[in-house]
Amino acid sequence: MSAPTWTTTPGGLPAGAVVGDGTSTRSRSASRWRRLRAPLALVAGLALVGLLAALPEPRTSSVPLAPDNPAAGGARAAAQILGRQGVDVRFVRTTSEAVAAAEAGTTLLVVRDTLLIDTQVEALAATEADVVLLAPSWSLASFTDQVTSVGGTSDVPVTTQASCTDPDAVAAGTLTAAGRLVATGPQAVVCFTAPGEASGAYAVVEGERRVSVLSDVTPLTNEALAEEGNAALVLRALGRHDTLVWYVPSLSDTGAVEATGPSLSDLLPPAAPVVGLQLLVVAAAAALWRGRRLGRLVTEPLPVVVRAAETTRGRGRLYRRGRSRGHAAAALRAGAAARSARHLGLPRSAPAPTVIDALALASGRDRTEVAALLYGPPPTDDVALTRLARDLDDLESEVHRS
């Protein structure tokens, strides 16, 4: 019976040769990557969303007449001009914050009073700061008894002349605003009155502190700030001191004036709830991902001594029960190649062609035959596996006799 012929590759291995159990470092890495890319993509996506959520919120809002609102109905333009002139603009939404910040030597701007209650108005009126009231309705009497608002006037803004000696009004010259104010005391000065009328759009009361009242919000808005003398009046009235407390009442303001100290939620950044939820999702995903595994192998002292031969036979039975002829053949070939290479003085990192050449020279066999024994395809049945074990044993004996 003629010996089988093998077609070799440029690397010296037969065509279709399988090294070990048919896998390589590259194939194992690719398999791990295919298995892990979905969880890694999920974790990366959650991390990206968490990073974006943790970034500082944009310094803009949609609150009407807020100093960070760039819309037509906002007041960002006036706030930015004041900031460039050295005024510290502090935007607050609650009465307690406004009262705490409105000290002597500061200016307190109260934008509308429709959301305020009596206790809030009383707390604001008790501060020592100069006050600028913007479009007040019922709360005006709590701040001063020198000015009242005229009801039933038109809400359409009109342009009027300064018509008074107040320096801020004179600097403005003209003003576009709706609503009318009337002086009821000797300390009040009403400006921007219509011809032949005693009511005007702007009033100033000089006493223990300065109270300025503007009957309409129009001059403060981004849309109308550049019209007529609106900017001059607004900037002079709000920029009299280095600190401006800009108070826009909100629905969430409970009216609690006394400061009780910051809570835990106040100390956390705004994105903390979102980031916390994402961390919980990541932890759950990691638990599902790693929960399927048993973890690393842990050495444990056995209660009895198991002989190496029994361990080998047990592994062989497991291979036979699972019909894992490829794994059994890979173990036999790896053991024979390692022992023979060590006998010939080859390092453990020696490549396959070097091992084949050394074993062929030591055993006197053909190089192709040695390559087929060590790196050939896995056996397909038990008979072929038995024959491979016998041939490997013969090859190893020939190498050790050399």
Per-residue model confidence as pLDDT tens for the chain (402 residues): 444 444 555 555 555 454 445 555 676 677 778 888 888 888 888 888 777 766 665 577 888 999 999 999 999 999 999 999 999 999 999 999 999 999 999 999 999 888 888 899 999 999 999 999 998 888 888 898 888 887 645 567 888 888 888 999 999 999 988 878 888 888 899 999 877 777 888 999 988 899 999 988 999 999 999 988 899 999 999 999 999 999 999 888 876 544 455 666 667 777 778 888 888 888 888 887 776 656 666 777 767 776 777 777 887 778 777 778 888 888 888 888 888 888 888 887 788 888 888 888 888 888 888 888 888 888 888 888 889 889 999 988 888 886
Residues 196 and 312 in one domain: no
**What is the Cα–Cα distance from 247 to 64, expressed in whole angstroms?**
12
- Report the 10 Å Cβ neighbour count for 38: 10
174: enclosing H helix or E strand: strand 174-177
Question: Would the CA dihedral through 344, 347, 353, 354 be positive or negative?
Answer: negative
Residue 294 lies in a domain: no
Using CB atoms within 10 A of its CB, is residue 39 exposed (0-12), middle (13-18) or buried (19+)? middle
Residue 207 lies in a domain: yes
Residues 232 and 338 in one domain: no
Contact 361, 343 (CB under 8 A): no
Contact 191, 162 (CB under 8 A): yes
Residues 182 and 36 in one domain: no
Buried residues in 57-88 as b, exposed as e (16+ CB within 10 A): eeeebebebbbbbebebbbbbbbebbeeeebe
Residue 139 lies in a domain: yes
Residues 82 and 157 in one domain: yes
Q: What is the pLDDT of residue 208?
A: 86
Q: Which amino acid is at 23?
A: T
The SS3 of residue 214 is strand
Q: Domain tally for the chain? A: 3
CA 23 to chain centre: 41
Residues 89 and 40 in one domain: no
Q: Which amino acid is at 121?
A: V
**What is the Cα–Cα distance from 309 to 327, expressed in whole angstroms?**
18
Residues 235 and 340 in one domain: no
Residue 194 lies in a domain: yes
Domain that holds residue 395: 307-401
Residues 160 and 87 in one domain: yes
Residue 66 lies in a domain: no
Residues 127 and 174 in one domain: yes
Task: Name residue, tokens 């979102």.
Answer: 274
Residues 129 and 224 in one domain: yes
* Residues contacting 160, CB < 8 A, separation 6+: 174, 175, 177, 192, 193, 194, 200, 201
Q: Quote the pTM value.
A: 0.53
**What is the Cα–Cα distance from 336 to 326, expressed in whole angstroms?**
15
Paired tokens of 338: 């390692």
Domain C-terminal end among 214, 230, 254: 254
Residues 136 and 237 in one domain: yes
Task: Name residue, tokens 């040695």.
Answer: 370
Q: What is the pLDDT of residue 1?
A: 42
Residue 5 lies in a domain: no
**What is the Cα–Cα distance from 25 to 343, expressed in whole angstroms?**
26
Q: What is the pLDDT of residue 58?
A: 57
The SS3 of residue 153 is coil
Residue 277 lies in a domain: no
Residues 46 and 123 in one domain: no
Residue 175 lies in a domain: yes
Residues 205 and 333 in one domain: no
